Amino acid sequence: MKKVVVGLSGGVDSSVAAAMLHNQGYDVIGLTLWLMKGKGQCCSEGMIDAASVCEQLGIPHEVVDIRDVFQANIVDYLLSGYSMGITPLPCSQCNKTVKFGPMVEYAREKLGSNAIATGHYAQVRYDETTGRYKLLRAVYRNKDQSYFLYDLSQDLLSASVFPLGELNKTDTRRIAAEYGLTTADKPESQDLCLVESNGSMRAFLDRYLVPKPGDILDTTGKVLGQHDGVHHYTIGQRKGIGIAADEPLYVIELDAVNNRVVVGERTKGTQSECTLNRVNWVSIAEPATPIRAEVQIRYRSQPVPVTVIPLEDFRVRLVFDEPQFSITPGQAAVWYEGDKVLGGGIIEQFS
Ligand SMILES: Nc1ncnc2c1ncn2[C@@H]1O[C@H](COP(=O)(O)OP(=O)(O)OP(=O)(O)O)[C@@H](O)[C@H]1O
């Protein structure tokens, strides 16, 4: 019987992933990563809920303490990013370095299994002609999480199974109810785990970063008001800037070095190109020449046509057919061909 290690957060999605694989005859082992210091969603009730699902299914449940990995790769990464005026995306980084990497390692070394599964909504397929594992969007676009998985290496993808890739949330809830899982009616998480456990991103950041007041300027350098810390703002933000003006104003630049927030009209916040670093080519090998694709510059943004120009050192330049608003350093840009994730990377700070 094939062994598979299922990452269990205590939520309904991963519970159903485990139940489905168990029902298909796999030898399933539940694994919960203990991520956060203190009380967090996957670290208190989540762990208990995960244990209870394993008990129901009659499968073993392991808990691995990787709080230090989470602290170094996510908490410290976010704090250093925000203090430099960028808005880091923690989820893709978390998937690669905190979840899939350690899970695959634990599965291989401690449990003698080369397969892990999660409750992510995405699909993975092996392409015999190219010899690569392709990452595809979930069948139902409204739940698709492929954007957060673009940074997985071929090795990690080769070990990954996504049982929910062809389901929508109603299917998942129905299956959970059919199996009588204790997590069937558990509410969905609404936000980043750190935001949920701290109340807001601002509350999380204020625990660690000392607010440093400074000027809010327009694009001509005129002082319009005061801010209470560059890390409280993000590119493209309109609400909560605290400046009254005839035209709506948006944050268009965060200058952490000079402790300044620059605001302007929407047209001032558009760009026709940007560069990315830490690029990962997923379903195709790195091309030698520019390619056409459709790119998402945020999780929920519409894919837009783009030319992707490979550069050295895991970097690319994106040239958009139409200028884009609120390109945010630190966030991921992920480019697709249809449903196939071609690659992704982190938006660099503009010089
Ligand atoms: N602490 C954890 N330990 C092990 N696996 C985890 C953990 N947190 C999340 N995962 C895995 O990653 C998947 C996606 O996590 P995410 O935080 O996006 O939760 P979700 O989509 O709400 O899923 P769920 O309903 O299972 O919580 C989960 O379905 C689970 O398989």
How far apart are alpha carbons 29 and 116 in whole angstroms? 9
How far is ligand 1, taken at its centre, from the CA of residue 24, in Å?
21
String of b and e for 245-276 (b: at least 16 CB within 10 Å)? eeeebbbbbbebeeebbbbbeeeebeeeebbb
How far is ligand 1, taken at its centre, from the CA of residue 223, in Å?
45
Instruction: Please give the share of the chain, as a percent, with pLDDT higher than 90.
Output: 85
Assess whether pLDDT exceeds 90 at residue 155.
yes
**Which of 42, 91, 193, 274 does the annotation list as catalytic?**
193
- Structure confidence at residue 338 (pLDDT): 97
Q: What is the pTM of this model?
A: 0.94
Q: Is the CB of 296 under 6 A from ligand 1?
A: no
Assess whether pLDDT exceeds 90 at residue 243.
no
Write out pLDDT tens, residues 331-341. 999 999 999 99
Assess whether pLDDT exceeds 80 at residue 284.
yes
ipTM > 0.90? yes
Residues flagged as binding site for ATP: 7-14, 33, 119
Q: Domains of the chain by range and CATH?
A: 3-197 (3.40.50.620), 212-264 (2.30.30.280), 270-347 (2.40.30.10)
Instruction: Please give the share of the chain, as a percent, with pLDDT higher than 70.
Output: 97
Assess whether pLDDT exceeds 70 at residue 43.
no
Write out pLDDT tens, residues 203-238. 889 999 998 999 999 999 999 999 999 999 999 999
